[in-house]
Structure 1
Amino acid sequence: MDWQTRLITLYLSVCEHFAQGLWIHAQRFAPHADLGFTDEEVVTIYLAGILDKKREIQTIHGHARDYWADWFPRLPCYGAYVRRLNRLAEVFPALLERLCPEGPSPTRVGLVDSQPVILAQQSRRFKAKVARQELANSGYCPTKKLYYHGLKIHVVGDYRPGTLPLPRYIGVTPAGMNDAPALETIAPVLAYRELYSDKAYEYLTRNPNLPFTVLTPVKKEKGQERLDSADRLYSTAVSRVRQPVESLFNWIQEKTGIECASKVRSFRGLLVHVFARLAAAMFLLSSCLQSA
Structure 2
Amino acid sequence: MNTKTNNKDYNLVKIYYYVCEKFEDNLQFRCQRFSNNNAPKLTDQEIITIYLFVMQHHGIFKMNKIHQFAREYLLDWFPDLGSYQAFNNRLNRISCAMDLFLETLLSEFAPKECAKNFSVLDSMPIITCSGKRQGKVAQEITAKGYCSTKSMYYYGMKLHDLGFCNAGRLPHSEQIIFTPACVNDLSLYKEAWSEIENRTFFGDKIYNDTGLFQNMKHNFNSEMLTTVKAVKGMADVLRKFDRACNDLYSRAVSKIRQPIEALFSWLIEKSDIQRASKVRSTKGLILHAYGRIAAAFITLIF
Same topology, TM > 0.5: yes
Aligned counterpart, 1:217: 227
8 Å CA contact 2:103, 2:175 repeated in 1: no
3-state SS in 2 of match to 1:75: coil
Q: Which residues in structure 2 correspond to 1:144-223 (within 5 Å)?
A: 144-187=150-193, 189-203=195-209, 207-210=213-216, 211=220, 212-222=222-232
Aligned-partner Cα distance in 2 for 1:286–1:208:
40
Aligned counterpart, 1:10: 15
Aligned-partner Cα distance in 2 for 1:56–1:163:
30
Instruction: Give the drift of 1:195.
Output: 0.4
8 Å CA contact 1:205, 1:216 repeated in 2: no
For 1:241, give the aligned amino acid: I
Over 3 Å counting, the alpha-carbon distance change for 1:236 and 1:286 in structure 2 is farther
The equivalent position to 2:250 in structure 1, one of 235, 260, 281, is 235
For 1:93, give the aligned amino acid: D
Aligned-partner Cα distance in 2 for 1:55–1:145:
26
Instruction: Give the drift of 1:190.
Output: 2.2
The equivalent position to 2:136 in structure 1, one of 129, 133, 138, is 129
3-state SS in 2 of match to 1:123: coil
Aligned-partner Cα distance in 1 for 2:201–2:21:
35
3-state SS in 2 of match to 1:184: helix
3-state SS in 1 of match to 2:193: helix
Aligned counterpart, 1:115: 124
For 1:58, give the aligned amino acid: N
Aligned counterpart, 1:290: none
For 1:267, give the aligned amino acid: T
Aligned-partner Cα distance in 2 for 1:67–1:267:
30
The equivalent position to 1:102 in structure 2, one of 102, 106, 110, is 110
Over 3 Å counting, the alpha-carbon distance change for 1:235 and 1:106 in structure 2 is closer
Over 3 Å counting, the alpha-carbon distance change for 1:186 and 1:206 in structure 2 is closer
Q: Deviation per CA, 1:221-266, whole angstroms, max 9, x where unpaired?
A: 3477977122111111110001111111111111011110000010
8 Å CA contact 1:155, 1:170 repeated in 2: yes
Q: Deviation per CA, 1:68-103, whole angstroms, max 9, x where unpaired?
A: 111111101101111111110111011111111234
Q: Deviation per CA, 1:141-190, whole angstroms, max 9, x where unpaired?
A: 11111111011111111111100112211111110010011011123552
Aligned-partner Cα distance in 2 for 1:180–1:253:
23
CA RMSD of aligned residues (A): 2.0
Aligned length: 284
Instruction: Give the drift of 1:106.
Output: 5.5
3-state SS in 1 of match to 2:42: coil
Instruction: Give the drift of 1:53.
Output: 1.1
Aligned counterpart, 2:293: 278
8 Å CA contact 1:92, 1:276 repeated in 2: yes
Aligned counterpart, 1:258: 273
Aligned-partner Cα distance in 1 for 2:61–2:279:
12
The equivalent position to 1:249 in structure 2, one of 254, 258, 264, is 264
8 Å CA contact 1:86, 1:269 repeated in 2: yes
8 Å CA contact 1:11, 1:44 repeated in 2: yes
3-state SS in 1 of match to 2:95: coil
Instruction: Give the drift of 1:131.
Output: 1.3
Comparing 179-188 with 222-231, greater Cα deviation is found at 222-231
Aligned-partner Cα distance in 2 for 1:196–1:241:
7
For 2:110, give the aligned amino acid: E
- 5+ residue gaps, structure 2, are none
Instruction: Give the drift of 1:44.
Output: 0.7
Q: Percent identity over the alignment?
A: 37
3-state SS in 1 of match to 2:201: strand
For 2:46, give the aligned amino acid: E
Q: Deviation per CA, 1:115-150, whole angstroms, max 9, x where unpaired?
A: 1110011302xx211111x21100011111111101
- 5+ residue gaps, structure 1, are 288-292
Instruction: Give the drift of 1:207.
Output: 3.0
Instruction: Give the drift of 1:205.
Output: 7.3
8 Å CA contact 2:121, 2:162 repeated in 1: yes
